[in-house]
C-alpha cells in the first residue's frame, strides 16, 4: 500500500491515511516504531504492508503494520528508507569479498544454580571458502578453558561431552589464535557468523587470554541479522530452520561447532542465490 500520511499520533505509535475516502489508522509495533516512527509526519509518502491483524486503541480499530518498503519526504524530496536499495547494498557488500571465513563457537554454560558467570569458548569450528565455491580449509577442535574453570554439568550435557576425551584432545586458546591470525593475514576474509553471540565471545576471549584483538565488529557479517533485515522478520530465525527452508531437507543439529560452520556456509550460499 502506497499512501501519503494524513495525520500521526506519536503517543500510540499510529498514523492515518485516506483509504477509499475514509480516514484509516495503522499501528506500528514497538520493533518498527523504534526504527521508523521519527521519520513519519503529515505529508510523508509511505509504502508499507500490513499483517492482517487489528488492534483496538481508544475504541478505534487500527491495522498493524508488518514492514515498510519506502518512506519518502516529498517537499523537499528525500528518501528516508528504501528496502529495495538496502537489499541491493547488502548484495554489493557480500560480493565485494573473495574469501569468507565461516565461524562457529560452542561456549561454557553456567550451572543450574545462579552464580557469576562469563562464557568461555571451548569448541571452534571454521570453514574458509569462496562464495558459492568449495572449501579452501575447514577445521574443528576443542579449546581448553582457563585452569580455574570447571565444566558445568549443563555444559557437558548440552554438548554431549566426554570430559576425559575433551581434556585429552583440547588445544590451548593460543592454537586457535594462531590459526585465525594466519587466515586473516593470508586471505583477508570477511568473517561470517550466525548471530552476534559468537562475535561477542571472540572479542571477550582476547581480553580473557590477554591477546591483541585480531578482529573488530566491522570485520563480521551477522548472517542472522541480514536475514531479518532482508526478509523483514519479526523474530530470530534458527540456523537449521534457514537451511531447511532453502534446501527443503532437514539436518539434525548436534551442537558441533564445525558442523554449524558448514551449515552457515550453505545458508550463506543459498542467501546469495536468493538475491540473484
Q: What is the pLDDT along the chain (276 residues), one digit of tens a residue?
A: 999 999 999 999 999 999 999 999 999 998 889 889 999 999 999 999 999 899 999 899 999 999 999 999 998 999 999 988 888 888 887 888 899 999 999 999 887 766 677 889 999 999 999 887 889 999 999 999 999 888 989 999 999 999 999 999 999 999 999 999 999 999 999 999 999 999 999 999 999 999 999 999 999 999 999 998 888 787 889 999 999 999 988 877 778 999 999 999 999 999 988 877
pTM above 0.85, yes or no: no
Backbone φ and ψ for 251, nearest 5 degrees, come out as -125, 135
Q: Where are the beta strands (DSSP E) in 75-151?
A: 77-82, 99-107, 121-130, 135-142
CB proximity list for 273: less than 8 A, separation 6 or greater: 132
Domain boundaries 97-275, corresponding CATH code: 3.30.420.10
Closest CA relative to residue 105, chosen from 269, 262, 258: 258
Same fold, 2-83 and 97-275: no
Which residues are CB-neighbours of 44 under 8 A, at least 6 positions away? 4, 5, 71, 72, 73, 74
SS3 state of residue 27: strand
Cell 521519527 belongs to residue: 38
The predicted pLDDT at position 255 comes to 81
Do 11 and 40 contact (CB within 8 A), yes or no?
A: no
CA 13 to chain centre: 26
Provide the pLDDT for residue 34: 87
Separation of alpha carbons 71 and 244, rounded Å: 33
Helix/strand/coil for 261: helix
User: Using CA of residue 27, residue 29, residue 30, residue 32, what is the dihedral sign?
Assistant: negative
Q: Where are the domains of the chain?
A: 2-83, 97-275
Residue with cell 534446501: 247
Count other Cβ atoms within 10 Å, centred on residue 107.
Answer: 21
**How do beta strands 2-4 and 14-19 pair?**
unpaired
- Asked if residues 87 and 271 have their Cβ atoms less than 8 Å apart, the reply is no
Cell of 130: 569462496
Cβ-count burial of 116 within 10 angstroms (0-12 exposed, 13-18 middle, 19+ buried)? exposed
Strand partners, 50: 65
Q: Domain 2-83 belongs to what topology?
A: OB fold (Dihydrolipoamide Acetyltransferase, E2P) (2.40.50)
Distance of CA 113 to the CA centre of its chain: 30
Amino acid at each position: 500500500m502506497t499512501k501519503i500520511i494524513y495525520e500521526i499520533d506519536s503517543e500510540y505509535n499510529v498514523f492515518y491515511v485516506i483509504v477509499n475516502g475514509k480516514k484509516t489508522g495503522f499501528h506500528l509495533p514497538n520493533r518498527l516504531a523504534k526504527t521508523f516512527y521519527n521519520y513519519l509526519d503529515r505529508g510523508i509518502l509511505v509504502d508499507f504492508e500490513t499483517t492482517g491483524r487489528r488492534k483496538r486503541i481508544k475504541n478505534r480499530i487500527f491495522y498493524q503494520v508488518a514492514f515498510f518498503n519506502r518512506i519518502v519526504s516529498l517537499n523537499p524530496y528525500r528518501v528516508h528508507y528504501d528496502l529495495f536499495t538496502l537489499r541491493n547494498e547488502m548484495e554489493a557488500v557480500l560480493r565485494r569479498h573473495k574469501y569468507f571465513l565461516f565461524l562457529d563457537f560452542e561456549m561454557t554454560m553456567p550451572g543450574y544454580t545462579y552464580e557469576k558467570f562469563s562464557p568461555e569458548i571451548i569448541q571452534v569450528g571454521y570453514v574458509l571458502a569462496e562464495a558459492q565455491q568449495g572449501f579452501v580449509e575447514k577445521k574443528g577442535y576443542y579449546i581448553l578453558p582457563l585452569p580455574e574453570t570447571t565444566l558445568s554439568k549443563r555444559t557437558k550435557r548440552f554438548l554431549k561431552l566426554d570430559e576425559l576425551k575433551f581434556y585429552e584432545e583440547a588445544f590451548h586458546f593460543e592454537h586457535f589464535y594462531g590459526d585465525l591470525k594466519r587466515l586473516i593475514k593470508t586471505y583477508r576474509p570477511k568473517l561470517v557468523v550466525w548471530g552476534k553471540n559468537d562475535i561477542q565471545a571472540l572479542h571477550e576471549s582476547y581480553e580473557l587470554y590477554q591477546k591483541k584483538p585480531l578482529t573488530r565488529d566491522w570485520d563480521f557479517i551477522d548472517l542472522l541479522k541480514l536475514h531479518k533485515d532482508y526478509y523483514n522478520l519479526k523474530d530470530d530465525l534458527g540456523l537449521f530452520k534457514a537451511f531447511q527452508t532453502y534446501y527443503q531437507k532437514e539436518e539434525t543439529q548436534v551442537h558441533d561447532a564445525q558442523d554449524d560452520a558448514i551449515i552457515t556456509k550453505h545458508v550463506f550460499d543459498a542467501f546469495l542465490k536468493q538475491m540473484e
